[in-house]
């Protein structure tokens, strides 16, 4: 008889700051973005991120107040975003798109390099490691269907 294994409990985290340098560091480490604040530094704003991590999957609620601009270089995760308020515009050589309330988009993936402009953005994110997606997409021979 084997002992039943239980999954580790999800972990919750909260990050909030009105400090532009702390916000920039957090965005770079968490989402691979280099933040440039375009809104008035005089106004009161606070970037906040609430996350729940369950094994390899992270679900988050992100609030990017004011008008923010940041560059994103893809990393080994796919971040799927749902816009809950405000807007985001992202542009690169192949794409120039604006997302508003209810829109869903991949805000980061391994091959991405783009510039994002947000306006009072609030979004829900799901972060999935590329290895998890490749494992799910593997064909019957065990070869990855995702490159």
Say if 5 falls within a structural domain: no
**CA 1 to CA 15: how far, in whole Å?**
44
What pLDDT, on a 0 to 100 scale, did the predictor assign at position 2?
53
| Predicted confidence (pLDDT) per residue in 120-142, tens digit | 999 999 988 888 877 777 743 46
Backbone angles phi, psi at 63, to 5 degrees: -125, 115
Structural domain span for residue 16: 11-137
In the predicted model, what is the mean pLDDT of residues 99-122? 85
What pLDDT, on a 0 to 100 scale, did the predictor assign at position 44?
67
Say if 4 falls within a structural domain: no
Say if 142 falls within a structural domain: no
Please, are residues 106 and 77 in contact by the beta-carbon 8 Å criterion?
no
**CATH number of the domain residue 53 falls in:** 2.60.120.10
C-alpha closest to that of 49 among 120, 124, 138? 124
Say if 95 falls within a structural domain: yes
Number of domains in the chain: 1
C-alpha closest to that of 112 among 138, 144, 67, 80? 80
In the predicted model, what is the mean pLDDT of residues 55-71? 87
52 pLDDT higher than 50? yes
Say if 144 falls within a structural domain: no
33 pLDDT higher than 70? no
Say if 24 falls within a structural domain: yes
């Amino acid at each position: 008889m084997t002992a039943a294994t239980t999954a580790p409990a999800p972990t919750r985290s909260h990050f909030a700051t009105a400090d532009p340098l702390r916000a920039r560091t957090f965005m770079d480490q968490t989402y691979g973005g280099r933040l440039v604040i375009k809104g008035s530094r005089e106004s009161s704003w606070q970037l906040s991120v609430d996350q729940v991590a369950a094994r390899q999957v992270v679900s988050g609620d992100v609030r990017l107040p004011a008008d923010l601009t940041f560059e994103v270089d893809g990393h080994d995760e796919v971040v799927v975003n749902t816009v809950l308020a405000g807007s985001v515009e992202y542009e690169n050589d192949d794409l120039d798109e604006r997302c508003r309330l209810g829109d869903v988009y991949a805000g980061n993936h391994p091959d991405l390099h783009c510039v994002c402009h947000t306006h009072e953005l609030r979004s829900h994110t799901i972060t999935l490691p590329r290895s998890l997606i490749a494992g799910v997409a593997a064909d019957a021979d065990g070869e990855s269907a995702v490159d």
